[in-house]
C-alpha cells in the first residue's frame, strides 16, 4: 500500500443528495477497521454530478475516479484498492464518462472538486490570494481595470456587459462610500453554476470581490445569496472567517492601509431579485422591485451610493486573470466573447452536471461530445438556454457557436448558463406554458406589461394544452409577447415571452396540432391523450385494472380488457404497468 495515498469525497450538494455523507462514513469506518491512519478529504463538486457519490483515489501520483459509490462499494474500495493494492476497474468511471471532465477548460471551476472548500490552506497552496497581493501591492486601480479590459471578460450573469466598463464607471463616480456586490441570487430552473462555485471554491469569489473592490475604490462588499443555498452560506462564512484571520479581509490588507470586508445577505428566493435594481431594493430592506435606469447602480446603487454588481462566475474568473494576465484569458473564446463559460447540463441528458468550455464551441460539441447526448439514446429536439428568460434552440441549429451574439440570434440568450436538454417526448407548447407559469408567479407586478402580459399569455398557453385553443391564439400570443417585451420595466418582463416566442418560431406545427387537431405530438399534454387497449396485444392479465385508481378498466381474467374513456383520468398507470405493450396512447 502506498503511504501517500489520498482519498477525496465529493461533498457538494449534488454529492450529498446522492448519499456522499454515508459513503464518506463507510470509507472512514473501513479504514479504521483496517487499522489505517488515512483521513478522507472533503471536496466540493467537480462537475460530474451524474456519477455521484464520487470518490477520487490519488495513489502514486495517479488519480482513480470511482463513481456511484454507495456504502458497499466504499468498503470494497478500501479492502481491495487501499489495502490490497488492486484497482477496482469495474467501479471506475468509464473512459467516455471521464471525457466529460478532460474535454473542459476550467478557469472559474479551476479548484472545484480539487480542494477542500473549508480549508484556506488548500486554496493558498493552489496560488490563492497571490492575485490579490499583486493587485494591492504592485498595481494601481487603473492597472487592474485595464487588465480586466484586456481579458475581454463580460458579465456571466446573463446580459454579458463588459466587466471593466462597469468597474470603471463605478470608480469614476462620486460618492461618500462605494460598494461591491456579488449577485448570487441564482434562480433559473436547471441552473446550479453559482451554487457549485460557492460550495466548492468560496475563496475564489472572495478574492475576486476584493480585487474588484480595490479597483473601484471601495471598502465594503456584500454577497446576496439565496437562502435556499444553506451549504453555500455556511462555507462562505467559514471562508470569510479564515480570510480575516490571514489578513486577506479586514483592516490594513497587506500593510497597504486599505481596509475591505464582506458580509452576507440571504435573499428570500424572489426570482426578480436577480435583477440588479430589485436586488439593491432587497438589500435595503425594501420589497424587491426594479426601478428605472438611469441612474445606473454605478452612479446611484446601494443606499444611493456608487455600486458595482457582478455575479459569482464573473468574480470567480478575476483572480485567475490578474494572476495569469488578461491576454491569457482572451486567448480563449471568440473575438466578441472571450474566455470560458460554465454551463449546467440538465434535463434529458446522459451526463448531467457542470461543464466549463471556451466560448465558440458549438452546442453540438457541448451536448453530445461532452454531455454524451440524449438520455436513453432518444431523439434530440431542443435545448432551452437562458432559463425562464431564454428560448428554445432546435436540432437544426445545433452547430450554433456558443457566444453572446450567436445565441441571441437564435432567439435565446446565454443567460447564466443553464442548458435544459429536451427530447421528442417533450411538448414544446407545455414547456412554454411551464416557463410562463414560473415568470408570471415571479413577476413583482410593478408594471402592467409584465403583470398582465404574462398572465394573459399563460392563460392562452394553458388553454391550448387542454385542447381548448382557438385559431387566432397563435397570433394573439405573438402580439402579447411583443407588447410585454417592449413595455416591461426590467429584464424579467422583457424576456419572459422568450420561451413562447421561440417555440412559436421553431415549432409552429406543434401549436397547430394542439389547436386544430386537438392532439399533442409528444403525447405529453394529459387532456389531449386517449388510452386504448389493443385487443391483439392484451393477454387478460388484469394488472392494468388492478392498478387503475378510478376503476375505469373492465374485463375478465384471460379475456380482453377495455378502458372506459368517460371514467379515465389519464394518469398513465395502465400503460406503465402493462408488460405486453397493449395499452396504446394516442
Bridge pairing between strands 353-358 and 340-347: antiparallel
Pull the grid cell for residue 528: 389531449
pLDDT digits (tens, 9 = 90+) for 166-211: 999 999 999 999 999 999 998 888 889 999 999 999 999 999 999 9
Contact 283, 304 (CB under 8 A): no
Nearest to 505 by CA among 414, 428, 568: 428
* CA–centroid distance for 35 within its chain: 42
Nearest to 151 by CA among 108, 213, 202: 108
pLDDT digits (tens, 9 = 90+) for 300-342: 999 999 999 999 999 999 999 999 999 999 999 999 999 999 9
Lowest mean pLDDT among 28-32, 105-109, 445-449: 445-449
* CA–centroid distance for 209 within its chain: 21
**Whole-structure pTM value:** 0.94
- Give the sign of the dihedral formed by CA 22, CA 28, CA 29, CA 31: positive
Report CA-CA distances (Å) from 120 to 11, 203, 208, 236, 255. 17, 7, 15, 11, 20
Q: What is the pLDDT of residue 388?
A: 85
What are the φ/ψ torsions at residue 319 (nearest 5 degrees)?
-60, -40
> Would you say residue 3 has pLDDT above 70?
no
> Would you say residue 2 has pLDDT above 80?
no
pLDDT digits (tens, 9 = 90+) for 102-131: 999 999 999 999 999 999 999 999 999 999
> Would you say residue 434 has pLDDT above 80?
yes
Q: What is the pLDDT of residue 1?
A: 58
3-class secondary structure, 421: strand
DSSP state at residue 468: -
Top-confidence residue, 152 or 271: 152
* CA–centroid distance for 196 within its chain: 9
Pull the grid cell for residue 256: 497597504
Alpha helices by DSSP H, 56-182: 71-76, 95-102, 120-125, 130-137, 141-151, 163-172
Rg, C-alpha atoms of the chain = 26
pLDDT digits (tens, 9 = 90+) for 77-101: 999 999 999 999 999 999 999 999 9
SS3 content of the chain, % helix, strand, coil (to 5): 45, 15, 40
> Would you say residue 158 has pLDDT above 80?
no
Average of per-residue pLDDT across 247-269: 95
- The CA-to-CA distance between both ends of the chain, in Å, stands at 61
> Would you say residue 47 has pLDDT above 90?
yes
Top-confidence residue, 513 or 187: 513
Cα diameter, the chain: 89
Average of per-residue pLDDT across 481-498: 91
Nearest to 349 by CA among 395, 380, 386: 380
Q: What is the mean pLDDT of the chain?
A: 95
Average of per-residue pLDDT across 502-510: 96
Report CA-CA distances (Å) from 1 to 54, 79, 89. 22, 11, 17
**From CA 188, how far away is CA 398, in angstroms rounded?**
22
> Would you say residue 290 has pLDDT above 80?
yes
Pull the grid cell for residue 456: 394573459
DSSP code string of 229-275 = -HHHHHHHHHHHHHHHHTTSSBSSGGGSS--BEEEEEEE---GGGGS
Q: What is the pLDDT of residue 485?
A: 93
Q: What is the pLDDT of residue 151?
A: 98
pLDDT digits (tens, 9 = 90+) for 467-483: 999 999 999 999 999 99
**From CA 104, how far away is CA 108, in angstroms rounded?**
11
Average of per-residue pLDDT across 475-500: 92
Top-confidence residue, 418 or 3: 418
pLDDT grade, residue 396 (50/70/90)? very high
Amino acid at each position: 500500500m502506498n503511504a501517500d495515498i489520498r482519498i477525496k469525497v465529493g461533498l457538494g450538494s449534488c454529492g450529498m443528495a446522492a448519499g456522499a455523507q454515508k459513503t464518506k462514513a463507510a470509507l472512514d469506518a473501513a479504514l479504521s477497521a483496517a487499522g489505517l491512519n488515512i483521513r478522507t478529504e472533503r471536496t466540493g463538486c467537480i462537475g460530474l454530478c451524474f456519477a455521484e457519490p464520487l470518490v477520487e483515489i490519488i495513489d502514486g501520483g495517479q488519480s482513480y475516479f470511482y463513481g456511484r459509490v454507495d456504502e458497499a462499494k466504499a468498503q470494497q474500495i478500501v479492502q481491495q484498492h487501499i489495502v490490497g493494492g488492486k484497482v477496482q476497474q469495474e467501479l471506475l468511471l468509464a473512459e467516455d464518462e471521464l471525457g466529460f471532465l478532460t474535454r473542459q477548460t476550467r478557469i472559474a471551476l479551476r479548484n472545484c472538486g480539487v480542494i477542500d472548500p473549508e480549508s484556506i490552506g488548500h486554496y493558498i497552496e493552489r496560488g490563492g490570494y497571490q492575485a490579490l497581493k499583486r493587485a494591492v501591492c504592485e498595481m494601481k486601480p487603473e492597472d487592474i481595470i485595464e487588465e480586466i479590459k484586456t481579458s475581454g471578460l463580460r458579465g456571466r450573469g446573463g446580459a454579458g456587459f463588459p466587466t471593466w466598463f462597469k468597474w470603471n464607471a463605478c470608480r469614476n463616480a462620486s460618492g461618500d462610500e462605494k460598494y461591491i456586490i456579488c449577485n448570487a441570487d441564482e434562480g433559473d430552473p436547471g441552473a446550479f453554476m453559482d451554487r457549485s462555485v460557492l460550495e466548492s471554491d468560496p475563496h475564489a469569489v472572495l478574492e475576486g470581490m476584493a480585487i474588484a473592490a480595490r479597483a473601484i475604490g471601495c471598502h465594503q462588499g456584500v454577497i446576496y445569496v439565496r437562502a435556499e443555498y444553506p451549504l453555500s452560506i455556511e462555507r462562505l462564512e467559514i471562508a470569510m472567517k479564515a480570510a480575516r484571520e490571514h489578513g486577506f479581509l479586514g483592516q490594513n490588507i497587506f500593510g497597504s492601509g486599505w481596509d475591505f470586508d464582506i458580509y452576507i445577505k440571504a435573499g428570500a428566493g424572489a426570482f426578480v431579485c436577480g435583477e440588479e435594481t430589485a436586488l439593491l431594493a432587497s438589500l435595503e430592506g425594501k420589497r424587491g422591485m426594479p426601478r428605472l435606469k438611469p441612474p445606473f447602480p454605478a452612479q446611484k446603487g446601494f443606499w444611493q451610493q456608487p455600486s458595482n454588481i457582478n455575479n459569482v462566475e464573473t468574480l470567480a474568473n478575476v483572480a485567475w486573470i490578474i494572476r495569469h494576465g488578461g491576454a491569457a484569458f482572451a486567448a480563449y473564446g471568440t473575438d466578441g466573447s472571450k474566455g470560458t463559460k460554465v454551463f449546467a447540463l440538465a434535463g434529458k441528458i446522459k451526463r448531467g452536471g457542470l461543464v466549463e468550455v471556451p466560448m465558440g464551441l458549438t452546442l453540438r460539441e457541448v451536448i453530445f461530445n461532452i454531455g454524451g447526448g440524449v438520455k436513453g439514446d432518444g431523439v434530440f429536439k431542443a435545448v432551452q438556454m437562458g432559463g425562464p428568460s431564454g428560448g428554445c434552440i432546435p436540432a437544426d441549429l445545433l452547430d450554433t457557436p456558443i457566444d453572446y451574439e450567436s445565441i441571441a440570434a437564435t432567439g435565446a440568450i446565454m443567460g447564466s448558463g443553464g442548458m435544459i436538454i429536451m427530447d421528442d417526448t417533450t411538448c414544446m407548447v407545455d414547456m412554454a406554458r411551464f416557463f410562463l407559469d414560473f415568470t408570471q408567479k415571479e413577476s413583482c407586478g410593478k408594471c402592467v406589461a409584465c403583470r398582465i402580459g404574462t398572465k394573459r399569455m399563460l392563460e392562452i398557453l394553458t388553454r391550448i394544452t387542454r385542447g381548448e385553443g382557438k385559431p387566432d391564439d397563435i397570433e394573439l400570443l405573438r402580439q402579447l409577447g411583443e407588447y410585454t417585451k417592449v413595455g416591461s420595466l426590467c429584464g424579467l418582463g422583457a424576456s419572459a415571452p422568450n420561451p413562447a416566442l421561440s417555440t412559436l418560431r421553431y415549432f409552429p406545427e406543434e401549436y397547430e396540432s394542439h389547436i386544430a387537431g386537438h392532439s399533442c405530438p409528444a403525447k405529453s399534454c394529459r387532456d389531449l391523450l386517449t388510452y386504448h387497449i389493443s385487443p391483439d396485444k392484451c393477454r387478460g392479465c388484469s394488472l392494468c385494472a388492478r392498478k387503475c385508481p378510478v376503476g375505469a378498466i373492465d374485463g375478465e381474467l384471460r379475456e380482453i380488457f377495455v378502458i372506459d374513456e368517460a371514467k379515465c383520468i389519464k394518469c398513465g398507470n395502465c400503460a406503465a404497468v402493462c408488460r405486453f405493450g397493449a395499452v396504446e396512447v394516442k
